[in-house]
Amino acid sequence: KQEVTQIPAALSVPEGENLVLNCSFTDSAIYNLQWFRQDPGKGLTSLLLIQSSQREQTSGRLNASLDKSSGRSTLYIAASQPGDSATYLCAVSGDYKLSFGAGTTVTVRA
C-alpha cells in the first residue's frame, strides 16, 4: 500500500522567504505526482503535475522536482507572499487512485 508523507506538517515564514515543502512516498511505481493547494473550507487546486518520466515542472514561482527512485518530491515556492498561505497536498497516482499526504500548512507573515 502506498504511503505518502509530507514534512513539515506546518511552516511559518516571513514574506519574501523561499518555501521548501517535502513529500516522500514508499512505492516508486507511480504514474505521476501532483501538488495541490487547499484553502480552508475549499476544494483542491492543482498546482503542478509531474509525469513519472519527468524530473521537474515549473509554473511561475513554483517548481516541483521528482526523484522516483528515491521516492521523493520537493515543491519550491520562491519569494513567498501572504497569499501563498494555504495547505499544500502532495498526491501520487498509482493504477487509477491518488494517495495523499496529510499536507503542509503554510503561513506567510506580512
Partner 1 sequence: GAVVSQHPSRVICKSGTSVKIECRSLDFQATTMFWYRQFPKKSLMLMATSNEGSKATYEQGVEKDKFLINHASLTLSTLTVTSAHPEDSSFYICSARGDSAPNYGYTFGSGTRLTVV
Name the grid cell of 38: 487547499
Single-letter code of the amino acid located at 5: T
- Nearest distance from residue 23's CB to partner 1, in Å? 12
d(C-alpha 86, C-alpha 106), whole Å = 5
**Residue 44 touching partner 1 (CB under 8 A):** yes
**Which is it for the CA torsion 12, 3, 36, 62, positive or negative?**
positive
Closer residue to partner 1, CB minimum distance, 18 or 55: 55
Closer residue to partner 1, CB minimum distance, 91 or 108: 91
Which range in 16-24, 44-52, 60-68, 69-77 contacts partner 1 by CB under 8 A?
Answer: 44-52
d(C-alpha 77, C-alpha 54), whole Å = 19
List residues binding partner 1 (CB under 8 A): 31-32, 34, 36, 41-46, 49, 51, 89, 91, 93, 96-98, 100-103
